[in-house]
Structure 1
Amino acid sequence: MSRPCECRESLARRARQCWWGESGSEPASFALVMPLVLILVLGLLQLSLALWVHTTLIDAAGAGAHAAALSGAPTSAADDTVRAALASTLGPGYVHTVSAERVTVATLHGSYSTSDLEVMEVQVKAPMPVIGLFGVGDLTAVGHAVIEEGP
């Protein structure tokens, strides 16, 4: 009867000795893994910021195109609208250039109209955010709107 108890005690003693050698390994594991997790999380946050900036530029370019496409509106209305829209979200000096021009788009023959269509095209250039909103290079967004003709 004493034999099974000795086996249990020796197994428990061996398990304690095996785990005793692992003390202090958790802080080392944390120190090795945490920088990788932090880099991954910060990279995802920066990617989402870059996508948000690009979406905001597209929206502002579309709003500028609609403002310049109104009947009797000058093309400078696009620049004013884009800069005003982006001043509230990205800051007043974030945009590099805003250009607006009339572009002719050919329509398909046999559809509702056979004449060419004239649209307002607005291009917005801003820096591509790499670290926060600070960035290098240019991120370009284009917006279009059909030009309204007055009576």
Structure 2
Amino acid sequence: MLRRLDDDRGSAPVEFVLVGTLLTAVILAVLQLALALHVRTTLIDAAAEGARHAALADSSLPEGVDRTRELIATAVGEQYAGDVEASFGTFAEHPVVIVTVRAPLPVAGLFGPDRAMEVSGRAALEPLR
């Protein structure tokens, strides 16, 4: 009986499968996290660009929303450009335009729970002269 326990023949393929499965799961998790962070960063950038566009003296809030939707649809996809809104607000007692984007949180590829991620971009309101 002790002789059978000391024999490691055939253990290398089993170890390879176990370690390979664990390593594959870790790599896929890191890639999914990178994708989620990329989508979040892209949404923040699009919201900030839309706020800058809406804050121009010859522009309006709907134009900023349209610009944000266009950027998101081009970079990530139409499903992420559905819920975009713009409003006026203040930041440090200065008037600003705030563009808010609510989008799915990518959990499996680009699919995930709807409206789980909310980002916003702000831009100083350009005064009329």
The question of a shared fold, defined as TM-score above 0.5 by the shorter chain, is answered with yes
Instruction: Find out whether 1:49 has 2:42 as its counterpart.
Output: no
Residue of structure 1 aligned with 2:79, choices 93, 96, 100: 93
Q: Which residue of 2 aligns with 1:120?
A: 97
Give the deviation of 1:61 after TM superposition: 0.4
Q: Assess, with a 3 A threshold, how the Cα gap between structure 1 residues 78 and 27 changes in structure 2: closer, same or farther.
A: same
Q: CA RMSD in A?
A: 1.7
Structure 2 unaligned segments of length 5 or more: list them. 1-5
Does the aligned pair in 2 maintain the 1:96–1:127 contact within 8 Å?
A: no
1:106 CA drift (Å): 4.4
> Tell me, which stretches of 5 or more residues in structure 1 are unaligned?
1-19, 108-116
SS in 2 for 1:52: helix
How many aligned residue pairs are there? Answer: 124
| Residues in 2 aligned to 1:21 and 1:38: alpha-carbon distance in whole angstroms | 29
Shift of 1:94: 2.1
Per-residue CA deviation, residues 82-122 of structure 1 (Å, 9 max, x unaligned), is 11111121112322311101102344xxxxxxxxx110011
Residues 74 and 24 (structure 1 numbering): CA distance in 2 closer, same or farther, change over 3 Å?
A: same
The residue type paired with residue 128 of structure 1 is L
Letter in 1 for 2:24: L
Within-5 A mapping of 1:14-33: 21-33=7-19
Which has the larger displacement, 50-59 or 24-33?
24-33
**CA–CA distance in structure 2, aligned partners of residues 83 and 99 of structure 1:** 10
2:3 corresponds to: none
Deviates most, 26-35 or 54-63? 26-35
**Matching of residues 55-66 of structure 1 within 5 Å:** 55-66=41-52
Aligned pair in 2 of structure 1 residues 106, 34: CA closer, same or farther (>3 Å)?
Answer: closer
What amino acid is aligned across from residue 112 of structure 2 in structure 1?
A: G
TM-score normalised by length of structure 2: 0.88
Q: Does the 8 Å contact 1:69/1:120 carry over to 2? A: yes
Amino acid corresponding to residue 73 of structure 1 in structure 2? S
Give the TM-score taking structure 1 as reference length: 0.76
1:114 alignment partner in structure 2: none
Between the aligned partners of 1:77 and 1:103, the Cα distance in structure 2 is: 17
Aligned to 2:62: 76
Q: Percent identity?
A: 41
